[in-house]
Amino acid sequence: MTEIPEVVSDPIGVTVDLIIGIEAGLGRDLVEATVVGVAGGRAKRRKLAQALLERPAVLTDGRSPAPRVVGDLLIALVKAGTTATSPPICAECGKALRTLQRRGEDWYCGVCGPIRLPCATCGDIARVHSRDRDGQPRCSRCGPGTGLDGGRDPVEIVIEVVTTLDPAVSAEAITAAVHTAATQAGKRHQLAWAVQDRPGLLTGAGAESPVPSVLRLIDKLCEAGATRIVRPACPHCGRGIKLHRPIDGRWLCRSCVAKSRAQPCSGCGTVREAASRDDQGRPICPNCLVSDPANLEVCVNCGRRRMVGTRSPHGPLCPSCPPLPTATCSICGQHRPCGTSRLTGLPWCPPCQHLSAHCSRCGQVKPIRSGSLDQPLCHDCTAPAFPDCRICETSPRPGHCVDCRLELRLRELMTGPDGATYPALLPLRNALAATDPPGTALRWLAKEPVAAILADIATGRRQLTHADLDELPQRIILNHLRSVLVATGTLPARDEQMARLERFLNKVLGTRTDPDQRRLLHRYAVWHLLRRLRRRNNGRATTNEQYSVVVQRVRSAVALLDWLAARDLALESCGQADLDLWLSDEAASHHYHAGHFVRWATRQRLTTLSFPATQWQGPTGPMDDQARWDAARRLLHDDTIGPRDRLAGLLILLYAQPTARISRLTTDHVTLGDTAVTIQFGTTPITLPGPVADLARRVLDGKRGHATTGAANPSPWLFPGGQPGRPISATHLGKRLKDLGIQPGQARFTALFQLATELPAALLARMLGIHIDVAVAWQRASSGDWMTYAANISRRSQQDHRGEP
C-alpha cells in the first residue's frame, strides 16, 4: 500500500508544527484554532502546508511570492499575539501589511497594489476606477458615463427600455430591480449599455447577455410582476431554469455546463465534470476524489476512517453518522456533543477520542478508550459492551458483529440527553431490534435522512409528529420512514393520500396571483372535490387513484383558467366560441378533464358554457377471448411465475377485477374452508375453482411482503407492498403483470364482456362488486340479457332431472 505523505494526511499538524518551531511559547490549541480558521477546506489546508514546507522562511520574513492563504495566516498569527512571526510585506515598498492586495502570488499594499493606466478621457495615469462602453479605462474623475457617450443615469436608460417593452411595470419597480441586479455604479452602466444596444435580451434572448447583471434584472422584473419580460431558456437543453455560466458566448444551465466540461476521469474513466485534478493536472471525478484514501478522515462519531459526509464544528462525520447529539462524556464527564463508542456503547466526546495517556491497568501509553481522565483504560484493558454475545466473546473485535452493531446504532440514534432511550421511539427501537436479518435494519438506518431525523427526535430538536415530518422535503425514503413509524405504533395513522392531496392544493392555490382565480379554484377544489371525496370515503383511506383523479381535474381547471387569462378573459366573460377554440387548440392540454370543472361552474351559475359529458359507447379495444384463456392457462400451470402474480392475473382474467381493487384486497376477503376457498369482491362470495384455490392457499401461507423494517408478519394485505402496513400500489401491480405479457385493462374488458353475455346485470354487480349501472351498460354492449341466462338455467335443470350429462 502506498504511504500517504503527511502533508496530505495531516496538513493541519504539519502547519502547526512549523509554527510551534518558531513560536515555542504559543499554545498549540491557539495555533491550531488559528490555522483552522484561516484554512477551512481540505485543499486549502494542503496548499498552505505544502507552501510552508517548501519555504518555511516566509513565516519570519513575510515575503512573497506565496499563496494567498499564507498571507492570511501571517495576518491572523500577528493578531493572535505572535512575536517571531512576520506580517506580510509589500513586494514593492516593503511596508508591513494588515490587509493585502495581490497580483498573481505577490502581495502589495493599498498604494502599490492597484494597477495604474492612462485614462481614455483625460489621459492622466491613475487607478482604474471603471471602464467605458468600449472597455477603455476611466479614472474616478471621468467615470464610465461621462465623455463622448454622455452622462445619462443608467437607471433612466433601463427604465426607458423596460417601459417600452412592458408599460405595466412601474418605474419604482424597475429602479429597485436595477439596484439589486447591479450594486456598483460601473456594473449599472454595463447593464444599461447591454439592454440599450439589444432590448431583445429582456424578451427571450437573455442567454446571449454579455454581462450577468442582465439575467439578474430579468429575474427581479419577473418577480415584480412583469408579463412581457421573459426568462431565457437554456440554449442547449431548452429548459427554463436558472442559467449558470457562459460557454462560447452563451449562458448555459448548470447541467449543460457540466456536460460541456465533461472529461474522462483519470481514475475510473467515467466521463463527467472534473471535481479536481491530480498533481499531474489530470481530471478527477467527484467519486474518485472523495473515495481517494488520501481524502478519507476519521469520523468523530464512530471513529472509522471513511469518506466525509458532513463537517460539524467538532470534526468530520461519515455519511452514515448523524450530527452529534449532546450528552455527558463517559471519560471526561463534560456535557458536550458526543459520539457513541463501538467498544463500550457509551458516549464519548471528540477530544477524548484523540487523547492518549498511561493506561491505569497495563501502564502503557495508548489511546484512551474507557475509564476516566484520572483512571484511563486502553482498548485491551476495556471490558466490551456486550460480554454475553457468543460471537463477541471469541472475536478479536468485540462489539462488531451484526447484532451488536445494530444495538450500538440504536443507542446512538435513539438515546436522549438523559442517556435513556427516548420513550416515544421505544416501539420503533423494539421493532428494529427484532428485524431478521439485523443487517437489513442497519442498512436502512444508514440511509441519509433516516439517521438524522431519528437523532433529532431523540435529542428534542424535532417533534415526533406528522406536521414536523411534513416540513421536510418529501422524498421516497421519508415516506418509507413515516410508514415504518406508523406501522410500529410510534406515529398515529393518518390518511396519507389525503394529506398529500392537501399539500398539492395548498401549493396550487399559493401560486395563484389573481385573487379571483384563487377564490374560484379554492371553491372548486376544496369545497367541492375535497369535500365530496371525504363524504364518499366516509372515514376510509383515500386511494392513489382518487388522488390522481382530483389532481387531474384541478390541473385541467388551472390550464383552462391560464389560457383564458392569457387572452384577457375570465370564466364569466368566456363565450362558447372561446371554449370551442380552446378545445380545438392542439397546444392546449387537459381537454378531457376540464369538462368536470366547466359543468360544475355551470351548475353553480358561474358561467353559461356547455361542455357535454362523453357517454360510454362500449369497449373500444380488441376482444381476444382466446388470448385471454391462453394467458389463464399459463398462469395456472407455470410454476416459474410467483404465486402472487399468478393469482392477481387470474383475478383479472377470470373475474374482471381492476388492479386498484386487487391491490387493496385483505386476507379477510378470502375464506379458507375445509373443501372450498371463497373470495368476496361484492356482496356475494365467489367459490374459487381448484387450481385457483390452491394458489390462494399458497399466497396466504407464504411469507408476505417485501418490507422487513417495522412490518407486521403476517401482513393483513393479500398483496403487501414495499412499505410496512401498506398494500402494493395498483401502478406497480399493473407493471408486474405487463412484464408477464398481460395487459390489465384489455384483459379485464375482455373478461367483463364475456361475463356480461352469460350473467344478468344484478348478479354480475353482486358478484364482481361493480355498480348496477355499469353492469347494465356492459350487458347491453355484449348483447346479453336476462332471458338468455334464464333459458340456460332452465335447460340445465331439465338435463339434471333427466340424468343427462
* Residues 698-707: tens digit of each pLDDT: 888 765 555 5
Q: Which three cell numbers stand for residue 769?
A: 362488486
C-alpha cell at 728: 402494493
Q: Which residue in this structure is represented by grid cell 429548459?
A: 239
Distance CA 327, CA 335 (A): 5
- The residue assigned the cell 392477481 is 648
Which pLDDT belongs to residue 554?
A: 92
**What does the pLDDT average to over 707-735?**
74
Evaluated on CA atoms 704, 705, 709, 715, the torsion sign reads negative
Q: Mean pLDDT: which of 143-147, 258-262, 528-532, 665-669 is highest?
A: 528-532
437 DSSP 8-state letter? S
Closest CA to 787 of 752, 760, 755: 760
Which of 112, 104, 35, 110 lies closest to 74 in space, CA to CA?
Answer: 35
| Nearest Cα to Cα of residue 447 among 297, 289, 309 | 309
Give residue 804's pLDDT: 47
User: How high is the pLDDT of residue 706?
Assistant: 53
pLDDT at 176: 92
Residue 779 to residues 127, 653, 784: CA-CA distances in angstroms?
A: 92, 18, 5
3-state secondary structure of 414: helix
Chain Cα centroid distance, residue 227: 31
pLDDT tens across 538-564, in order?
Answer: 888 888 888 888 999 999 999 888 888
Give the span between the Cα atoms of 503 and 470, in whole angstroms: 9
pLDDT of residue 793: 47
CB atoms within 10 A of CB 507: 9
Q: What are phi and psi for residue 727, nearest 5 degrees?
A: -80, 170
Q: How many CB atoms lie within 10 A of CB 702?
A: 11
pLDDT, greater one: 415 or 209: 209
Query: Which pLDDT band, with edges at 50, 70 and 90, does 798 fall under?
Result: low
Q: How far out from the chain centre does Cα 129 lie? A: 45
Residue 232: half-sphere exposure toward Cβ, Cα within 13 Å: 24
Percent of the chain whose predicted confidence (pLDDT) is above 90: 5
Q: How far apart are CA 540 and CA 536, in angstroms?
A: 9
How confident is residue 216, by pLDDT bands cut at 50, 70 and 90?
Answer: very high
Say how many Å lie between the first and final Cα of the chain, rounded.
85
Q: Tens of pLDDT along 655-689?
A: 888 888 888 888 888 888 878 888 888 788 888 88
Report in angstroms the alpha-carbon separations of 350 from 128, 157, 339, 458, 630: 51, 59, 7, 20, 67
Question: pLDDT-based confidence at 621, cuts 50/70/90?
Answer: low
| pLDDT score at 393 | 53
The 10s digit of each residue's pLDDT in 38-79 is 887 778 888 888 888 888 898 888 888 888 889 899 999 888
pTM for the complete prediction?
Answer: 0.51
Residue showing cell 422584473: 221
Cell of residue 193, nine digits:
449599455
Q: Is the pLDDT of residue 801 over 60?
A: no
Q: Report the alpha-carbon distance of residue 757 to residue 751 in Å, rounded.
A: 10
Cis link prior to 246 (omega < 30° from 0)?
no
Q: Write down the mean pLDDT value for the chain.
A: 81
- Asked which of 180-184, 267-271, 357-361, 715-719 is least confident by mean pLDDT, the reply is 715-719
Please report the beta strands in 240-282, taking only residues with DSSP state E, as ranges in sequence order: 243-247, 250-253, 262-264, 271-273, 276-277
